[in-house]
Chain A
């Protein structure tokens, strides 16, 4: 199971990175260009707003000049606050404990009053006032720590210190609109939740209640604070996987989803909600190993719908990963019920087939001009390719030798194949598969399907390795042809990349078993360098030809 989770995390990382870098590059450019077009009277402000609105982009506010007074007063306040906390920690005993307590309490209240005075009574000192309010909040933490120290409150109860520090500064954050104190309180609540969970081994339902009722509604304009609280909630949901608090994870997830429905402009709620629901289904599995979580499909269906409706590209990857994790956990639960052990080969083949189904959904989405078809295709392709690549190692196949076939996973594979066939048949009857590119894609799918079927059914190590390697080569060749056919240099480059990877991997795979490794690596390096130069030359020639054809 850990292997499965790591596998999906790797996939999600690469796809999200690819997507976000692409999207940021394009959208960032547009956000910078629109104000420029407006300045040069190419478009008016209304048209600019329409262009930005089409992609749901916010107008970039011109960056204000850094206010040095604000920065200096803030840094000064933080320095003094940290200094006082260090003074408390040093436990200097020349001043009696009760004098120290009265002194720090008096300074805290005086600072709080000064903060109020400069914020609201004296005009023109708002920055100083805000910093002093933060300083008073830090002093309050020092006071609580000092009392804890005097009475030797053990570190296992530090959660209590954090709570007594955080709660009473919330009114300053909310009623005095102080962003710094809001951030401080949010961070303290996050630490409190961590310490409470670790030290008490009890689900902390109070944390999401406080965050949902007080912190998030008052952090509408405070991005840093809002993000800290959302991250805190996701972390709280993550703890649930280890501590088996399924209801807490569900509560956090549902709350985040509701918040997204209320504040649709903030996509982070949707990402966090989706991630939290994934943690919930993992927790559900850890609590009830033999009970598949079919309830998960309800929130995931809603999130998938919202992702498409609001065009939240990155979240689609998270949804797909969530659904695949759910599928695997459900199959694992059924395996437990019927007494089948986990089989690594069955597991990887199932992921590969799932990747193929997702790829076909991408093809269908493209044919019907739905949004996000490229995400389905890239995600599905990556999953299928990585799985086939893993299976092309003999050492990987050796892990499954002699193990009994897990019939539940086997049935899952057959089900996915049936879905695949139905989808392709449906699309064929509508006449969508009639060009050369479609035939090439179908050929790659067919090759991958056959390879996976051999891996699933053949007990022979040699046949399995041969099948996986053959599929890899077919992937490379079809990518190259498809690149030429579609005049897409990226697809063509991916094909040469797969081919190069295949040759390097197999060379190392075989050579590693030889006794004379130094000669093997030197000769291998020279061959691969030459091959790289040759492939690069060929690639450039083909891409140049594509450009000329255009």
Chain B
């Protein structure tokens, strides 16, 4: 095959792939709805890894005794949809199900990481927040101790995909 054509095709492939990555994420921002999630204090040793911050949310651990669930036996690796509803300042989980309902509610898609005695540890793909080099220390300080003063505004689209829009640090807390 002509090398020039290959060059052209490779350039095209790279541009298409880069655009596809950007468009898929941008469409979540465009079509999704904003929810504010409360983070929970994490062990500072695990918090900062290089230039990103590890975030844990209240919705990262789901107690099936307290939340409505269509079943009790979820497997590790299973995809789930968690219904979120605003309760005060933050959005909280109200139901867990394997498939998304057709109602107008906001459902965030997650993957079960561990299960332990009707408690699910779930990841939603919004557990990392990349920060400029050396600026993670403040976030680390604010999530240390018994109370966390960091909250996250995330965008959830109709498919349940979530992206972090903003991280808030409440310094007065």
Residues of A within 8 A of B (CB): 89-93, 101, 105, 108-109, 112-113, 116, 120, 140, 143-144, 147-157, 164, 168, 171-172, 175-176, 200-202
- Give chain B nearest CB distance to A365 CB in angstroms: 51
Q: A91-B130, A176-B3 are in contact. Are A155 and B10 (CB under 8 A)?
A: no
Counted as pairs of residues, one from A and one from B, with CB atoms less than 8 Å apart, the total is: 91
- Chain A residues with Cβ below 8 Å from B11 are 109, 112-113
Tell me if B128 and A152 are in contact (CB < 8 A): yes
- Give chain A nearest CB distance to B40 CB in angstroms: 17
- Chain A residues with Cβ below 8 Å from B6 are 171, 175-176
**Extra inter-chain contacts (14) besides given A92-B132, A153-B128, A155-B52, CB under 8 Å:** A93-B132, A101-B18, A112-B14, A140-B14, A152-B128, A152-B163, A154-B127, A155-B49, A168-B10, A168-B17, A171-B10, A175-B1, A176-B6, A201-B76
Tell me if B129 and A143 are in contact (CB < 8 A): no
Q: A147-B22, A168-B10 are in contact. Are A90 and B133 (CB under 8 A)?
A: yes
Q: A175-B6, A176-B3 are in contact. Are A154 and B133 (CB under 8 A)?
A: no
Of chain B, the residue at the smallest CB distance from A161 is B21
Q: Number of B interface residues, CB 8 Å?
A: 34
Tell me if A90 and B10 are in contact (CB < 8 A): no
A151 to B27, CA, bound (A): 12
Tell me if A105 and B125 are in contact (CB < 8 A): no
A92 to B134, CA, bound (A): 11
- Give chain B nearest CB distance to A161 CB in angstroms: 10
Q: Does B33 contact A (CB under 8 A)?
A: no
A318 to B9, CA, bound (A): 46
- Chain B residues with Cβ below 8 Å from A176 are 3, 6
Q: A93-B132, A152-B128, A164-B17 are in contact. Are A202 and B3 (CB under 8 A)?
A: no
Chain A interface, >50% SS class: helix
Q: A89-B51, A91-B51, A109-B14 are in contact. Are A151 and B25 (CB under 8 A)?
A: yes
A108 to B18, CA, bound (A): 12
Tell me if A112 and B15 are in contact (CB < 8 A): no
A488 to B19, CA, bound (A): 73
- Give chain A nearest CB distance to B133 CB in angstroms: 4
- Give chain A nearest CB distance to B74 CB in angstroms: 15
Of chain A, the residue at the smallest CB distance from B53 is A152
A153 to B10, CA, bound (A): 25
Of chain B, the residue at the smallest CB distance from A93 is B132
- Chain A residues with Cβ below 8 Å from B127 are 154, 156
A–B pairs, 26, beta carbons within 8 Å: A90-B133, A91-B51, A91-B132, A92-B133, A101-B18, A101-B22, A105-B15, A108-B14, A109-B11, A109-B15, A144-B18, A147-B21, A147-B25, A149-B130, A150-B25, A150-B130, A151-B21, A151-B25, A151-B163, A152-B163, A154-B128, A155-B49, A156-B123, A168-B10, A171-B10, A175-B6
